[in-house]
Amino acid sequence: MRDHSEGVPLSYEIVAEDPGTHARAGVLHTPHGDVPTPIFMPVGTKATVKGLLPPTLRDLGTKILLANAYHLSMRPGAGLVDEMGGLHEFMRWPGPILTDSGGFQVFSHADHVRIDDDGVTFRAVDYDGRYVRWTPEDNMDIARKLGADIAMQLDQCPGYPSPRPFVERAVELSGRWAERCWKAHERAGHLTCQGRPQALFGIVQGGMDLDLRLRSLRQLEGVADFPGLGIGGYSVGESHEVMFETLAPLAGELMPRSKPRYLMGVGNPTTLVRGVGCGIDMFDCVLPTRTARTGSVFSSEGRVNLRNARHAHDGGPLDTGCSCPVCTGGYTRAYLHHLVRQREMAGAILLSMHNVHFLLDLMRRAREAIIAGSYGTFLDGWLASAGAKDW
């Protein structure tokens, strides 16, 4: 672990680059531990990954978690989290944490959102219905109080499809807000309210237009030397093929080599594997736990729906090739089918354990392939496998 006692919030080193793709393996050094990349970050939206306690997450191989600034600012409030010593103490997670900006959640309020140059006003219809005002400075204050190792700038995330002028406006506004977030973060000494170092990532927007993506990237580079860059505004309604038309050249050819690249809100196995091939280092998504709660899992044979009657008499594991505690612990498909059909919470917990482990192990194997210089073969093998049928 790198020494962060002198206040360096984050550093990134590349340990291997695949010769046939843009994939790379690295290490993200944070105040709460080192994170091998590429990596998937389970999402603890409200300071908990649904159904999974921190010791379980560690046992599954989790290296870094994500929490949501919007939801935590609403309940229990960033001030209370700060009072309790920050997110690490509050949720009893000793490893690295990233908090998103909450921008996606804010702008998902649609007709209840009003944007101006200074910030955004929205009605919290998913809570108590009151009107909330956020500026970039407010957003950074929330991030500091939450106390994560990595915070994200406040940005505007346009949905798909959106008219080009709307996307252009989002790029310009996100760029100006990035500057204000950086200045607020700098005034605070790049420290959380608990006095720990905190890194701030910028976010590249631009919809499905590569020239707007490049414009957004250049704006961020003109603002500051952000230690890492998020890629927002994907997985907002477009197909994966449409997404990769711009994501592949953006990550593989245009973004700086020396900084971690974080594709926000994407989490099905095939997209992760393809994203790594484009040069993405970090991913997050609620998909593994959300699909588990509906009775579905990822596997080497593709998406499996445990609600289906064909599993009722199946005495085998979820996935014979999986080393997770569920697949190696004797839990049969028949038992898991029973739990899911009866809506027992144990079913959602066990399936969540499997899904989170599956993605973490997939990224572990991807990293090994990159270090071995054979990621192209790994990628082709995955795409040709039954596991790639994960929709």
pLDDT at 227 over 60: yes
pLDDT at 76 over 90: yes
265 close to 245: Cβ distance less than 8 angstroms: no
For residues 82 and 86, give the distance between their C-alpha atoms in angstroms, rounded to a whole number. 5
Q: pLDDT of 142-166, one tens digit each?
A: 999 999 999 999 999 999 999 999 9
- State the architecture of 11-292 in CATH terms: Alpha-Beta Barrel (3.20)
pLDDT number for residue 2: 44
Question: CB-based contacts of 216: which residues, under 8 Å, 6+ apart?
Answer: 171, 174, 175, 204, 205, 206
pLDDT at 3 over 50: no
pLDDT number for residue 7: 57
17 close to 31: Cβ distance less than 8 angstroms: no
**What is the number of residues in the chain?**
391
Domain spans in the chain, listed from the N-terminal domain onward: 11-292
| Residues labelled as active-site residues | 100, 284
Burial of 353 (0-12, 13-18, 19+ CB in 10 A): buried
- Name the pairing type of β-strands 261-263 and 229-231: parallel
pLDDT number for residue 103: 87
301 close to 310: Cβ distance less than 8 angstroms: no
pLDDT number for residue 6: 46
pLDDT number for residue 4: 45
Sign of the alpha-carbon dihedral angle for 184, 189, 191, 197: positive
Task: Label residue 107 by pLDDT band (50, 70, 90).
Answer: confident
> Residue range 218-232: average pLDDT?
98
Residue 166 in tokens: 């709307």
pLDDT number for residue 238: 96
